[in-house]
């Protein structure tokens, strides 16, 4: 890939200007640009399954799609899977959806997608192999296939085990543990490489490739089952019956009062790795 000079890799980190104290030397031309050897670009999506109370089944339907980088701060997160939730810095860092910040150019050298800790391990494991990941630079019209969720490492990843709240333990007071080994070691800088890089241009660039979205598209139904609900039965000291503990399947994810609530849903984040190039706004 032939890259513009401003985007060719140099020493990482901020490129500093002339030494301080020389007013003439510190007069930075209007076309001067900075370069950062890292990118803070990240985004978040939710996937809210449906719930069948008869079969106690949670299902993400084939054809469900959500898009990273499709909500700016203050936007409704409907394209990101959570209609009625307004994006904050916990969900996005964009000023305009799908666009770079402050007229920056971003050379994407790597992409990571990871599950947030509140994501149930059972649902994540069911979804990983059947969810395709696409990248688009023109509002979703042309898509580059990146693989499935299982092909993209997580930058810190979901790693370990947790209590499975969808099942009834065999013994009173017991627990059922579900475990996962993440797709990639849990290193904070882990990512899937894009090779020479993918250039996300600023909105002002007439060459296009200015509207980035990373799309999750479910290729099959993804379902997990919970044990069915039961009512409590009190112990009987006469017969030695120990009683039965009540159980209800955990609540399916939904939007309540502008927030995602419940227990069973996917909460995923995407982080870009690469080089950020933009116009200086002050003398550095």
152-174 pLDDT tens trace = 887 765 566 666 677 666 656 55
Look at phi and psi of residue 262 and say left if phi exceeds 0, alpha if psi is from -120 to 50, else beta.
Answer: left
Residue 219 lies in a domain: yes
Question: What is the total count of domains within the chain?
Answer: 1
Residue 214 lies in a domain: yes
Bigger pLDDT: 72 vs 183: 72
Rounded distance, CA 93 to CA 87, Å?
9
pLDDT digits (tens, 9 = 90+) for 95-112: 999 999 988 999 999 999
Percent of the chain with pLDDT over 70: 76
Task: Specify the pLDDT at position 162.
Answer: 66
Residue 17 lies in a domain: no
Q: Binning pLDDT at 50, 70 and 90, where does residue 227 land?
A: confident
What's the domain range around 82? 32-279
Residue 205 pLDDT > 60: yes
- Burial call 206-238: b when 16+ CB within 10 Å, e when fewer: eeebbbbbbbbbbeeebbbebeeeeeeeeeeee
Residue 76 lies in a domain: yes
Residue 157 lies in a domain: yes
Q: Binning pLDDT at 50, 70 and 90, where does residue 55 land?
A: very high
Most confident of 18-27, 72-81, 115-124, 247-256: 72-81
Task: Specify the pLDDT at position 8.
Answer: 46
Residue 199 lies in a domain: yes
Q: Binning pLDDT at 50, 70 and 90, where does residue 1 land?
A: very low
Residue 27 pLDDT > 60: no
Residue 13 lies in a domain: no
């Amino acid at each position: 890939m032939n890259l513009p000079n401003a985007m060719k890799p140099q020493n990482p980190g901020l490129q500093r200007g002339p030494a301080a104290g020389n007013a003439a030397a510190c007069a930075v031309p209007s076309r001067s640009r900075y370069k950062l050897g890292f990118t803070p670009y990240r985004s978040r999506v939710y996937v809210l399954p449906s719930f069948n109370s008869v079969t106690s089944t949670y299902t993400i339907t084939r054809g469900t799609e959500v898009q990273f980088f499709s909500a700016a701060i203050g936007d409704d997160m409907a394209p990101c899977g959570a209609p009625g939730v307004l994006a904050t810095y916990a969900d996005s860092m964009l000023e305009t959806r799908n666009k770079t910040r402050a007229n920056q150019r971003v050379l994407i050298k790597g992409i990571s997608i990871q599950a947030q800790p509140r994501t149930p391990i059972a649902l994540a494991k069911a979804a990983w192999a059947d969810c395709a990941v696409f990248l688009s630079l023109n509002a979703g019209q042309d898509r580059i296939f990146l693989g499935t969720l299982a092909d993209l490492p997580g930058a810190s990843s979901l790693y370990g085990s947790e209590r499975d709240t969808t099942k009834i333990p065999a013994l009173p007071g017991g627990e059922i543990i579900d475990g996962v080994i993440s797709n990639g070691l849990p290193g904070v800088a882990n990512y899937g490489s894009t090779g020479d890089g993918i250039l996300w241009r600023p909105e002002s660039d007439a060459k296009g490739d200015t509207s980035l979205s990373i799309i999750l598209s479910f290729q099959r139904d993804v379902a997990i089952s919970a044990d069915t609900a039961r009512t409590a039965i009190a112990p009987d000291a006469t017969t030695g019956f120990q009683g039965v503990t009540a159980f209800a399947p955990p609540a399916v994810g939904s939007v309540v009062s502008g927030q995602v609530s419940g227990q069973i849903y996917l909460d995923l984040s995407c982080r870009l790795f690469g080089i950020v190039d933009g116009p200086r706004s002050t003398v550095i």
